[in-house]
A and B are shown apart, each in its own frame.
Chain A
Amino acid sequence: MSQLLDVKGLEASYGPTKVLHGLDFSLEQGGVTTILGANGAGKTTTLRAISGMVTRKGAIQLEGAELTTLQTADITRKGIAHVPEGRGTFVRMSAEDNLRLGAYSRSDKAGIAEDVERVYGYFPILKQRRNQQAGTLSGGEAQMLAVGRALMLRPRLLLLDEPSFGLAPLIVQELFEILKRINVEEGVSMLLVEQNASLALELADHAYLLETGNIVISGTSESILENETVRRSYLGY
């Protein structure tokens, strides 16, 4: 498979505090990659660095095009959609307006209307909630809305920041099945950040283990599942 995103020597910092200390990793076209790690390891920061929301150094190349010199809005236009930590829906706007916002950087009206229906196809509950304020949705619905909103960009790469956070196990199962479908049916590549390692490794084909801003282990999901350290520290058996 060819590479979609190639990251070299990525450093990121919040003010004087450096959080990432030179990450090297790559994402395959059409693949699902996960970044595992404990709290504070720098998982969220990695995603923010890719979408240009933190100060960063190093090289991030999307099929050869450098992203580190671009602003967030321009990175979005390149087809990288970010589903932020804690969902980040627009709580006082209707669910459907949230979806329309996801297509903000597009101007094809017919295509946008079509894609709203496509998102409703994946998440039928959102169609029922279309005129409801996003802040009144349940946790699961809000996460679905956040994913649906990101899909409205017709992204090539979906950055998912802990989509399972705070959701009931059944809802998580449902959500991850839909993510799998989106990956297979639409060929959307994904970079998934998760605390729930077993869940993430089920969906992903590649994994990186992040510890205090450094990648310590990398490999295919199968090889990571068999890794002693990962099993003891992150899978708990």
Chain B
Amino acid sequence: MATDVETRIDTKLNVGAKIPFKWVIPFIVIGAILPFFLGGYATFQGTLIMIYAIAILGLNLLTGFNGQFSLGHSAFYAIGAYTAAILVYHLDWPVYAAIPIGGVVCFVAGFLFGLPALRLEGLYLALATFALGVSIPQILKSSHLEGLTGGVQGLDVFRPKVPAFLVENFGLTMDQWWYLIAFVVMLLMFWIAWNLINSRTGRAMMAIRDNPIAARSMGVNASLYKSLTFGVSAFYTGIAGAIAAIVIEFVAPDSFTFQLSILLFIGMVVGGTGSIWGAVFGGFFILTVPNFAEEISTGLSYAIFGIILILVIYVMPSGFAGLVNLLRVRIKNML
């Protein structure tokens, strides 16, 4: 039975092998102390990488673990961002509370979008989500919603000061403070995804990806899980969008074009479809590589980005996570 997402079988890979927690700790420690060694701009970039990683993980839950395509995740990113911005700008909500609300609104939007999308598979779902992705910037600009969204101008979001005791005791800057918030949120989201994937629900999600007919005959309610996964995926992307709105202190329709959907998609594939932590590399890739290509040649930046992309896919056909897994197995076999 063919699935819509490429099924890459790795003969050397044991899928039951879990990463021991002691291996994760050093990465958490390094991630936490990094902003104290980086400059302000690099810290800000690190924050954006983590925001992208959360969004990519959301897309990956949908595509990598459930086998549904989306070219419209920029829409959920936008909905998350605008929800947060509207709550803060119009209703004076505290920015911290606006983040989870952005996620919840997206969960509802994703679940509702997932219901009609149940009838669409593979390429057709890609087209339907594409339609969602391209329509959102225009809807946000629409004169009917201008009072709420600020139209083409967008909305400003002002961040509150860093809590005083952190400034006094640690000299924490605004960039460092929001880096740490994004870091904690990212870890939390990764932990939730990890538990989800290793639960009965997660197994049902993956069974639908591998063989929807067989999954149904095991008693899995495929329709419900596909819609729910759409909701959860949108929730992740919405959280990312909400944090982005606050960190960048501004939302405008043109930040959420269809191109963002494609970038998230690239990040997912490059990081490793079906990998949780690969999303961090995916975020790193989509933030840094386009800038790097721009530095080489402004006029040909897309061509250079394209070449880099092809090379990366050639070298790491299962994404960064797949490469690391392969190296791990090689080293293990050598020892």
Q: Known contacts A104-B200, A104-B204, A132-B15; is A92 also within 8 Å of B217 by CB? A: no
* Distance, CA A130 to CA B14, complexed state (A): 9
- Whether the pair B9, A133 counts as a contact (CB closer than 8 A) is yes
What's the least CB distance linking A129 to chain B, in Å?
Answer: 10
* Distance, CA A84 to CA B213, complexed state (A): 9
Q: Known contacts A53-B213, A93-B203; is A73 also within 8 Å of B219 by CB? A: yes
Chain A 142-162, CB within 8 Å of chain B: the 1/0 string?
Answer: 000000010001000000000
Chain A 88-105, CB within 8 Å of chain B: the 1/0 string?
Answer: 111111101100111011
What's the least CB distance linking B198 to chain A, in Å?
Answer: 9
- Please pick, from B13, B211, B213, B219, the residue contacting A133 in the complex, using a CB distance under 8 A: B13
Measured as residues with beta carbon below 8 angstroms from the partner, the interface class of chain B is 20 to 34
- Please pick, from B203, B220, B274, the residue contacting A97 in the complex, using a CB distance under 8 A: B203
Does B73 touch A at the CB level, under 8 Å? no
What's the least CB distance linking B35 to chain A, in Å?
Answer: 37
Q: Which of B196-224 contact A (CB under 8 A)?
A: 200, 203-204, 206-207, 209-211, 213-221
Cβ contacts under 8 Å, A153 to chain B:
218-219
- Whether the pair A94, B15 counts as a contact (CB closer than 8 A) is yes
What's the least CB distance linking A163 to chain B, in Å?
Answer: 15
Cβ contacts under 8 Å, B221 to chain A:
73
Does B169 touch A at the CB level, under 8 Å? no
Chain B 1-33, CB within 8 Å of chain A: the 1/0 string?
Answer: 100000111110111110000000000000000
What's the least CB distance linking A103 to chain B, in Å?
Answer: 8
Which residue of chain A has the shortest Cβ distance to B221 in the bound complex?
Answer: A73
Does A76 touch B at the CB level, under 8 Å? yes
What's the least CB distance linking A161 to chain B, in Å?
Answer: 11
Q: Known contacts A132-B14, A133-B9, A135-B7; is A101 also within 8 Å of B1 by CB? A: no
Which residue of chain B has the shortest Cβ distance to A134 in the bound complex?
Answer: B210
- Whether the pair A94, B16 counts as a contact (CB closer than 8 A) is yes
- Please pick, from A53, A89, A93, A97, the residue contacting B217 in the complex, using a CB distance under 8 A: A53
- Whether the pair A100, B9 counts as a contact (CB closer than 8 A) is no
Measured as residues with beta carbon below 8 angstroms from the partner, the interface class of chain A is 20 to 34
* Most chain A beta carbons < 10 A, residue from B8, B210, B220: B210
- Whether the pair A76, B218 counts as a contact (CB closer than 8 A) is yes
Cβ contacts under 8 Å, B13 to chain A:
133
* Most chain A beta carbons < 10 A, residue from B7, B10, B15, B219: B219
* Distance, CA A76 to CA B221, complexed state (A): 11
* Distance, CA A76 to CA B17, complexed state (A): 30
Q: Which of A97-121 contact B (CB under 8 A)?
A: 97, 100-102, 104-105
* Distance, CA A86 to CA B1, complexed state (A): 8
Which residue of chain B has the shortest Cβ distance to A100 in the bound complex?
Answer: B203
Cβ contacts under 8 Å, A133 to chain B:
9-11, 13, 15
What's the least CB distance linking B14 to chain A, in Å?
Answer: 4
- Whether the pair A89, B15 counts as a contact (CB closer than 8 A) is no
* Distance, CA A39 to CA B227, complexed state (A): 37
- Whether the pair A73, B220 counts as a contact (CB closer than 8 A) is yes
- Whether the pair A93, B210 counts as a contact (CB closer than 8 A) is yes
* Distance, CA A132 to CA B215, complexed state (A): 19
- Whether the pair B207, A101 counts as a contact (CB closer than 8 A) is yes
What's the least CB distance linking A96 to chain B, in Å?
Answer: 7
Which residue of chain B has the shortest Cβ distance to A47 in the bound complex?
Answer: B217
Question: What is the interface of chain B, defined by CB distance below 8 A to chain A?
Answer: 1, 7-11, 13-17, 200, 203-204, 206-207, 209-211, 213-221, 274
Q: Give me 27 A-to-B residue pairs in the complex whose CB atoms sit less than 8 angstroms apart, sorted by A's number.
A: A53-B216, A72-B219, A73-B221, A77-B219, A81-B217, A84-B214, A84-B217, A90-B207, A90-B210, A90-B214, A91-B7, A92-B206, A92-B210, A93-B203, A93-B206, A101-B218, A104-B200, A104-B207, A104-B220, A131-B14, A131-B15, A131-B16, A132-B14, A132-B15, A135-B9, A136-B10, A153-B218
Contacts beyond the supplied A100-B200, A131-B14, A133-B15: 17 A-B pairs with Cβ under 8 Å? A53-B213, A72-B216, A86-B1, A88-B1, A88-B211, A89-B211, A89-B214, A90-B210, A90-B215, A92-B15, A96-B16, A97-B15, A100-B203, A130-B16, A131-B17, A132-B14, A136-B10
